[in-house]
Amino acid sequence: MKVSRIMRQPVISMREDDSLEEAARVMLEHNFRGVPVVNEQGKMSGFLSVSDYLPKDKRLPFTRYYAPQLFGKWIDLENLEKVYEEARATPVKEVMSTDVISVTEDDPLEKVVELMLNRDLNRIPVVRDGVPVGIVARFDLLRMMMQEGKTE
């Protein structure tokens, strides 16, 4: 089976210069956990996911201690609200992941499953000539299983 059979489309993507606030609004309105990010030519340049909005434990330089970091800044969790307030206007390109794994519509579904398992991915953008045209999430694999099991 090919990726084109189960991918969700059309894909909604964000531009690199869109703000984190705009991206969050789109993700919440559409119940997305992540969106592809495109450059001025419409080619995928990154991916923004819900986890990019969450603090991460990062090791303090030259120590064994870990501290929370959000949007590339060290934070005091008591001031989390202030950090989010300041970040609302931050461009998506400053936070997005740029080492994005993608597939094409013609790739076999087995490739998607293998990538999800080996790289611990929850969703994979589908591209045509570098432009996002769909997305496959783990949830889509579950939906496929249920559709394949229906008798006509």
Q: Which two tokens stand for residue 123?
A: 């969703």
62 in helix, strand or coil?
Answer: coil
pLDDT for 116:
94
User: Which pLDDT tens digit goes with each residue over 65-106?
Assistant: 767 777 777 677 777 787 778 778 899 999 999 999 999 999
User: Which pLDDT tens digit goes with each residue over 9-18?
Assistant: 999 999 999 9
Number of independent structural domains in the chain:
1
DSSP 35: E
Neighbours of 63 (CB within 10 A): 8
Which helix (H) or strand (E) segment is 86 a member of?
helix 80-87
At 30, the pLDDT band (50, 70, 90 cuts) reads very high
Total residue count of the chain as it appears in this document: 152
The answer to whether the bond into 10 is cis (omega within 30° of 0) is yes
- CATH number of the domain enclosing 77: 3.10.580.10
pTM of the model: 0.81
Range of the domain at 92: 3-149
